[in-house]
Amino acid sequence: MNNLHPQAQPFFIPGSTQQALLFLHGFTASPSEVRPVAERINKINNCSVSSILLPGHGTTPEQLDAVQWPDWYEAVEEELQSLQARFEQVFVGGLSMGGLLALHAGITLPGLAGVVTINAPIYYHYAIIPVVSDLKGLITPFYHKKGLSEIKKLESQGRFAYRVMPLKAFHSLNYLRKIVMHEVQDLKIPALIFQSILDESVHPRSADYLYEKTRQQGSRMLLLTQSRHIATMGAQQEMIAQEIASFMENQRNSIKNDI
């Protein structure tokens, strides 16, 4: 990939051949933001963890504005099918937009064992960006993100993300959000749903919506009382890792009990 930022590299953490997790990053970001939790999960249950760089990310905002959500999902599905060919059980999870893609994969791709979402954006705290995005960037191609101090803090911890939000790409993300809202009730596999109470972008009722639509399949919702939007780099990353590892272990045990 041209001009790929060194901190935006995809990664694969090898473990056993029994279980694998595809862990997806959020909009404008990179695998760097989920790596701290991915490494902890691997240490807890020895599962393999993959994190791909979604198309348009890790380079320049202009490149992100040149792709749409089907491009992101195509990359997700390709990696999941590769993992399914090599591992007994495959899970998919993600932060923010990565959570939406994980849900869409859980509904669309047969044979997955479970879905994990962290601050998946069903409802936002604000309305201005979705409204502006409907203009498809005709006024300005980029929206400058707020909270620069938090952005710089995460950058100092190794996270790479664009400091601006490409509006054409955000418009496509919003389209994916609407698709997931309508289809999530068709999810047939268990889901683990995290939501940060201090999330500055995604409204906590997003998790309520996802839980209500999926609880018949045995989904579970966990509220992160000390975490902001990038919870995977926050104060509760150890808890998140422990809960995901337990979720995966429970699914492995349920299959054993069914045999």
The mean pLDDT values, 10 residues at a time, for the chain of 259 residues are 87 96 98 98 97 98 96 98 97 98 98 98 73 48 76 94 92 96 97 97 96 94 97 97 97 65
pLDDT at 259: 45
C-beta separation of 5 from 30 below 8 A: yes
Structure tokens at 249: 């272990």
| Architecture of the CATH domain 6-258 | 3-Layer(aba) Sandwich (3.40)
C-beta separation of 98 from 127 below 8 A: no
Distances (CA, A) of 233 to 82, 94, 164, 180, 184: 28, 13, 20, 25, 27
pLDDT at 145: 72
